[in-house]
Structure 1
């Protein structure tokens, strides 16, 4: 079985960016910076997408 996208215990807010970084094998800081940049460039619609991801992605920890 392959990798699963889950929320990360290495979290600043909800673990979405940390989970994405684990899934794609990237540095969590780069994912967080990219998400922040995308949020500011798209008139803050990234916040809505972040909340949706937080609700949909399962926890990978207890």
Structure 2
């Protein structure tokens, strides 16, 4: 099972959405879109949770190797 990290390579603001997308094997664009829509619908509560999670979840270590993203079938 993959460990949750904030992404270093797929980062726009803090790397949290990119890390969640890598962890769930999902598109980071959809995760970011869901966060923006949820932020408007929750009157900013999601933004507070986002920044708290960014403080708690560690950055991806350098040299982190994810087999699922780097494995290609040729």
Interval containing the TM-score (normalised by the shorter chain): over 0.9
Q: Which structure would you say has the larger Rg?
A: 2
TM-score normalised over the length of structure 1:
0.92
Q: CA RMSD in A?
A: 0.8
Gaps of 5+ in 2: 63-74
The equivalent residue for 1:8 is: 7
Gaps of 5+ in 1: none
Equivalent residue pairs, number: 61
User: Structure 2 matches for 1:1-62, cutoff 5 A?
Assistant: 2-9=1-8, 10-62=10-62
After the TM superposition, which parts of structure 1 deviate over 6 Å for at least 4 consecutive aligned residues? none
Tell me which of the two structures has the higher relative contact order, counting C-alpha pairs closer than 8 angstroms and 6 or more residues apart.
1
